[in-house]
Amino acid sequence: MPALYGGIVGDLIGVPVEFKERGSFHIEGITGYGTYQQPPGTWSDDTSLTLCLIENLLEEGDPSSLLGKFSQYRTKGYWTPYGEMFDIGRTTIESINRYEKGLPPSECGGNTEFDNGNGALMRIAPIVFVLYKNFNFLEKVEAIKKYTEVTHSHPRSIVGSIIYIEFLIRIYYNNTPETALQQTKKLFYDNFEDNHEYIRELQFYSRLFKPDFFNLPEKEIRSDGYVVHTLEAAIWCLGNTLSFKDAVLKAVNLGDDTDTVGSITGTMAGILYKVEGHLSRHMDAIPVEWVESIARKKEIDELLSRFFDFCAEKAVKEEYGK
């Protein structure tokens, strides 16, 4: 699954320079140490929580069991590269705290305007592969909302997740980024009334849907942890490059929240530059040395292989029945 491997390598390339100012460094490939003093190949909470979600989907778990895995990540280093957590977002911590106090998952996520970080966006990509054959937009929205609101329940974060997942689905079906954005915007207006909260929140993402979005100069692209800025930065990088490698490097070199912008860009680029044919050929777009550098690669390979089989079987059942 090039999208998922792409997200992991985008994450690990960004980890050493997270929070560094744009222009103060230049990344050309795999490095290490830096911000967190971690060796090359180390991925962050972006990947850890994504792997937790994949595992939860395989187990056919629910939001409560997913939050349980997030709690294990924080307290016991579950699905971390070396058995110890070194990175986690504020809103996610607060959501885990509410879960541990016994609140239902639907009430755990941060719901204020200050809770619109990218902590849900960075981990939600796997649900693309259980939704891509579902052509009922409102059903997909409910699934996306369920997996977003466990940590980020403000409607702006939910809208960001919807845009991201629909964008991924549409480039999976070989649409250009420009077309994918316009199709996604149309889905919102075709399915929600003008006064719906998702339409109101869509205005915060309005730059994405303007004809000149990909012509914006780099100085106008912000790459911090705000969900709107992260989504803009990743899609802008994808639309201003012609290869997986260039897209990820452009994203990381924007600075600031480098691991998350790198991870989301890598996920998008993994889908956009997928190679048609057998799965073993699908990794051609991602530099081999980047993939081989992934910490705990054998275990990740095994998990993603199981997830591929799970999604393939689900797709066959949906198409042909039992």
How does pLDDT run across 197-209, given as a tens digit for each residue?
999 999 999 999 9
Mean predicted lDDT score pLDDT of the chain = 94
Q: How much is the pLDDT for 248?
A: 98
Full residue range of the structural domain in which residue 250 is found: 2-320
As a whole number of angstroms, the distance between CA 230 and CA 121 comes to: 9
Q: How much is the pLDDT for 317?
A: 78
User: Residue 266's pLDDT band (boundaries 50, 70, 90)?
Assistant: very high
Res. 257: pLDDT tops 80: yes
Q: List all residues 6 or more positions away from 98 whose beta carbon is below 8 Å from its beta carbon.
A: 107, 108
Q: What is the largest CA-CA distance in the chain?
A: 56
The neighbouring-strand residues paired with 110 are 152
**No. of H helices and E strands in the chain?**
14, 0
Residues belonging to the chain = 322
The neighbouring-strand residues paired with 38 are 33
Quote the number of domains for the chain.
1
Residue with tokens 């239902």: 104
To the question of pTM greater than 0.85 for the whole model, the response is yes
As a whole number of angstroms, the distance between CA 20 and CA 18 comes to: 6
CATH of the domain at 100: 1.10.4080.10
Res. 255: pLDDT tops 70: yes
